[in-house]
C-alpha cells in the first residue's frame, strides 16, 4: 500500500513526521510526500534515510501511484491541486484533506468521489521517542468527517492512522448546507469542534503569553520565568484533571477558599471571561460564514 501526502506545511509535516517517528509503516508500505520546494525535506531525509519514504515535487506521481491521498495545502490551493491530479485518479481513489472551511458540497461540482475531511491539531505532534510505546503519545483531538462514498474499511484506515497519535472524534453528519448553500451557525457542529480543538492551542498560547507579559511588566519576574511557571501549571492542571477525572469546579473548590485571594481572582475571571468567550465564539463563527461565502464564489460559481 502506498500513502501519498501532498503538502509539507505545518499540518502536512506533522502528519509525515508522526507517521515516521512512530514507525507506522509496515515493511510493504510506502509513504510518498510531495511539495513544491524540495529543500523543505532536507531535515526529513537526514532523520529518516532508510525509511519507506519517497519525496517528490510532482503531485501527478502521487496520483498515479496512490489510492489514498492526503492533501494538506492552504484551502485556496485545494481546487488547483485536485484539478491537477484528477486525470490520474479513479473511482478507488480516496481523497483525505485537511483544508478547514472547505466542505463536501464545495467540492462536489468538480469531484464526486470518496472524500474525508480531517481537522488535526498541532497539539498532536509527537515530540519525543520516550513515549512512542506508551498511550501517552496520544494528544489532542483530530476531527474526522467522511462523505457517504467512503466505505467502512476506508473509514477505519483514516481513523486508525490518526488514532495512533491523537484522540479521534468523528463528525457524523456529512451535509454542510441548507438548500441555498448558506452557512448555518445553528448547525455548526464541525466549526464549533474545530474552534475547541484545532484552534485551541493558539488560544491557550495567547493566554499564557499575555499573562506572562503582564506579570513581567508589573514585577521583577522575567517574562521567560513567568511563562515557564504558567506552562508547568497548565500541564500539571490538565494531568490532574484528566488522571483523577476531576471537574473544573472540583479543581476550583480545591484551590479557592471562600473570601480568599484565589476566590477573588476566580470571581473576576468568571465575570470577564463569560463575555470574552461569547464574543470569541461569535467572532469565529462569523468568520466561518465569511469563509463559506468566499468558498461559494470560488467553488460554486456557474
CA distance 183 to 8: 30
CA distance 86 to 287: 30
Nearest to 110 by CA among 78, 76, 62: 78
CA distance 143 to 176: 15
> Which cell is 245 given?
477525572
Are the C-beta atoms of 101 and 292 separated by less than 8 Å? yes
> Which cell is 1 given?
500500500
Sheet of 68-71, strand order: 53-56, 30-34, 2-6, 68-71, 94-97, 114-119, 141-146, 167-170
Residue 34, beta-bridge partner list: 6, 56
Q: Look at residue 69 and give its three-state secondary structure.
A: strand
> Which cell is 241 given?
484533571
Nearest to 265 by CA among 274, 254, 253, 256: 256
**Residue 23 annotated as lining a ligand binding site:** no
Nearest to 59 by CA among 30, 28, 80: 80
- 132 phi/psi in degrees, rounded to 5: -60, -40
Listed in sequence order, the residues at least 6 apart from 297 whose beta carbon sits closer than 8 Å to its beta carbon are none
Q: Binding site for NADPH: which residues?
A: 59
Residues annotated within the binding site are 59
Amino acid at each position: 500500500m502506498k500513502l501519498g501526502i501532498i503538502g509539507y506545511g505545518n499540518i502536512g509535516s506533522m502528519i509525515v513526521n508522526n507517521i515516521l517517528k512512530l514507525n507506522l509503516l509496515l515493511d510493504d508500505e510506502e509513504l510518498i510526500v510531495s511539495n513544491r520546494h524540495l529543500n523543505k525535506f532536507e531535515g526529513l531525509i537526514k532523520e529518516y534515510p532508510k525509511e519507506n519514504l519517497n519525496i517528490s515535487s510532482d503531485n501527478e506521481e502521487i496520483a498515479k501511484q496512490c489510492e489514498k491521498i492526503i492533501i494538506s495545502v492552504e484551502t485556496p490551493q485545494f481546487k488547483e491541486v485536485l484539478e491537477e491530479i484528477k486525470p490520474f485518479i479513479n473511482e478507488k481513489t480516496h481523497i483525505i484533506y485537511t483544508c478547514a472551511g472547505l466542505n463536501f458540497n464545495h467540492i462536489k461540482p468538480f469531484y464526486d468521489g470518496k472524500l474525508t475531511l480531517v481537522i488535526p491539531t498541532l497539539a498532536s505532534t509527537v515530540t519525543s521517542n520516550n513515549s512512542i510505546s506508551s498511550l501517552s503519545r496520544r494528544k489532542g483531538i483530530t476531527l474526522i468527517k467522511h462523505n457517504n462514498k467512503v466505505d467502512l474499511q476506508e473509514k477505519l484506515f483514516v481513523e486508525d492512522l490518526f488514532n495512533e497519535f491523537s484522540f479521534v472524534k468523528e463528525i457524523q453528519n456529512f451535509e454542510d448546507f441548507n438548500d441555498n448553500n448558506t452557512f448555518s451557525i445553528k448547525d455548526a457542529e464541525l466549526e464549533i469542534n474545530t474552534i475547541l480543538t484545532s484552534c485551541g492551542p493558539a488560544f491557550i498560547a495567547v493566554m499564557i503569553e499575555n499573562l506572562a507579559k503582564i506579570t513581567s511588566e508589573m514585577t521583577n519576574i522575567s517574562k521567560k520565568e513567568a511563562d515557564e511557571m504558567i506552562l508547568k501549571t497548565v500541564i500539571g492542571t490538565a494531568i490532574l484533571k484528566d488522571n483523577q477525572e476531576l471537574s473544573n469546579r472540583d479543581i476550583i473548590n480545591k484551590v479557592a477558599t471562600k473570601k480568599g485571594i484565589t476566590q477573588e481572582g476566580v470571581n473576576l475571571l468568571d465575570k470577564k471571561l463569560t463575555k470574552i468567550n461569547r464574543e470569541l465564539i461569535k467572532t469565529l463563527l462569523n468568520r466561518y460564514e465569511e469563509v463559506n461565502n468566499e468558498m461559494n464564489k470560488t467553488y460554486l460559481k456557474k
